[in-house]
Chain A
Amino acid sequence: MKSFLAALAFAAIAAFCVSSVLDTIQQTSSVAYTTSGARVGDPGNNLIGPN
Chain B
Amino acid sequence: MPSSISNLRALCAAIALLFVFANPAVAQLSFKPTAEAVQEDKLLNALKEGDKITGRITIPDAMASSLIQPAGRDWRDFHRSKLPIIGGVAIIGMLALLAIFLLVRGRIRIDHGFSGAKLLRFASFERFTHWLTASCFIVLALSGLNISFGRILILPLFGANAFATMSAYGKYAHDYLAFPFMLGLIIMFLIWIKDNIPGKLDLDWIKQGGGLLSKGQHPPAHRFNAGQKGIFWIVIIGGALMSVSGWFMLFPYIPANVTELQFWTVIHAVIAMLFIAAMLAHIYIGSVGMEGAFDAMGTGEVDLNWAKEHHSLWVEEEQAKGRAPSGSAARPVAAE
Within 8 A of B (CB), among A9-47: 10-11, 14-16, 18-19, 32-35, 38
- Chain B, interface size: which category? 20 to 34
Say yes or no: B176 contacts A18, CB within 8 Å. Answer: yes
Q: Which of A7, A14, A16, A35 contacts B58 (CB 8 A)?
A: A35
Whether A11 lies near B136 (C-beta < 8 A) is yes
- Decide: A3 and B127 in contact? CB cutoff 8 A: yes
Asked if A14 contacts B179 (CB within 8 A), the reply is yes
Residue among B64, B172, B180, B300 making CB contact with A14, cutoff 8 Å:
B180
A16–B175 Cα gap in the complex (Å)?
A: 11
Take A3-B127, A6-B128, A7-B131 as given contacts and tell me if A35 and B179 are in contact as well, using a CB distance cutoff of 8 Å: no
Any chain A CB within 8 A of the CB of B95? no
Known contacts A32-B60, A35-B59: does B124 contact A11 (CB below 8 Å)?
A: no
Chain A interface residue count: which class? 10 to 19
Q: Are A18 and B179 in contact (CB under 8 A)?
A: yes
The complex places the Cα of A1 from the Cα of B297 at a distance, in Å, of: 9
The interface residues of chain A lying within 8 Å CB-to-CB of B64 are 33
B60→A35 contact, CB < 8 A: yes
| Cβ-defined contact, A15 with B176, below 8 A | yes
Query: B61 at interface (Cβ–Cβ under 8 A)?
Result: yes
Task: Report B162-195 residues with CB < 8 Å from chain A CB.
Answer: 172-173, 175-177, 179-180, 183
Q: Shortest CB–CB separation between residue B298 and chain A, in angstroms?
A: 8
Do A38 and B59 form a contact, CB below 8 Å, given A3-B124, A7-B132? yes
Cα separation A8 to B58 with both chains bound (whole Å): 45
Which residue of the partner chain A has the closest CB to B139?
A11
B135 on interface, CB distance cutoff 8 Å? yes
Closest B residue to A10 using CB positions: B132
What are 10 of the A-B contact pairs (CB < 8 Å)? A2-B124, A4-B127, A7-B129, A7-B132, A7-B135, A15-B173, A15-B177, A19-B175, A33-B64, A34-B60
Which residues in B have some Cβ–Cβ distance to A below 8 Å? 58-61, 64, 124-125, 127-132, 134-136, 172-173, 175-177, 179-180, 183, 298, 300
Known: A15-B177, A33-B60. 9 other contacts (CB 8 A): A2-B124, A3-B125, A3-B128, A4-B131, A7-B129, A7-B134, A11-B136, A18-B180, A34-B59
